Amino acid sequence: MASIKYFLAIGASIFFLHKSNAQIIRGQVFNIETDSTIAFANVYFNSSFQGTTTDQNGKFELNTTGYTGQGIVISCIGYESWILEYFEPDKFYKIYLKPSTILLKEILIVADDWPQSKKIKRFIHEFLGTSFNASKCTVENKEDINLVYDKSIKTLKAYCYKPIIIQNKSLGYKITYYLDEFEWNPNNMHYTGNSLFEEDTSLSAEEIVQVINRRKQTYYGSRMHFFRELWKGESAGLEFYVSYKGSNKKINEDMIIDESHEHVKYLCPGKGIVITYQKKTSYIDFKGTNEVLFTGNGYFDPKYILWSGEMANQRVGYLLPYEYWP
């Protein structure tokens, strides 16, 4: 019972804080080809609880308090997702979504000799990961996922025109995941997308206690944990050891962080780095830029980072919302 009261108290505190110091952004979502408004589009911060939907006229209001530096994602079935990366409270934004250009008839012409059962098994294995958390996840709408295996290049691709609904019983979350890309072959796996979280309200008091412990275990050593400690400059004290690839010498955090921007920082080591946490090693390489934005709650811009090692295995089954603090 104490755990349930704890959950409710935290939720009430966050609600009060958001209401009392609210910064609101308003806007309207349109179809870029027809200029018509889009009703019931989802407007949210990626990997968070914070989101809303557009009304019948495509209009929305979103509380942005506490999410400075994070882009706002706009997703809708049949359209390509859009991220409003820079915004100011109390401004009105017109946002235009592009209809999805991927047509099912184009997908089906690819040579495909894998049975559906084998494809869905591989997809879930790679998408959710192999952790204990992943083993307790269920994908509720597998039938909405289109999977195609191209035997000529040994590559599996996934397309989904609806959000993927995931129940993570291990961490106590329901995740609505908007998949943008998924591609797997024996040598590489790549996926991108955006997610919106909800608490699982069906848990018993005993299950809540277990969930609290598993969330802590998941958090420590995660990407979120790393960027939060990098923000504070405490990686050495909390067992994160950062060095350049090819060197065992610890890097001083001040040497690889640009703090000249208000509310956000940039990781800019100039080359690949190695992250060690409790004898587990991860690697970051950069693509297309020498700096990556991150914020104090652990958010980072994923577009320009290539993960390998331990943190590369932290897939969707490992996700925590940015509101989570142990």
| 111 class by beta-carbon count within 10 Å (0-12 exposed, 13-18 middle, 19+ buried) | exposed
Over residues 277-295, the mean pLDDT reads 91
Supply the mean pLDDT for the chain: 88
Q: CA dist 271 to 28, 89, 179, 288, Å?
A: 40, 35, 29, 12
- What digits encode the pLDDT tens for the residues 223-273? 999 999 999 876 555 678 999 999 989 988 878 999 888 789 999 998 999
- Predicted TM-score (pTM) of the model is 0.87
To the nearest 5 percent, what fractions of the chain are helix, strand and coil? Answer: 25, 35, 40
Over residues 98-123, the mean pLDDT reads 76
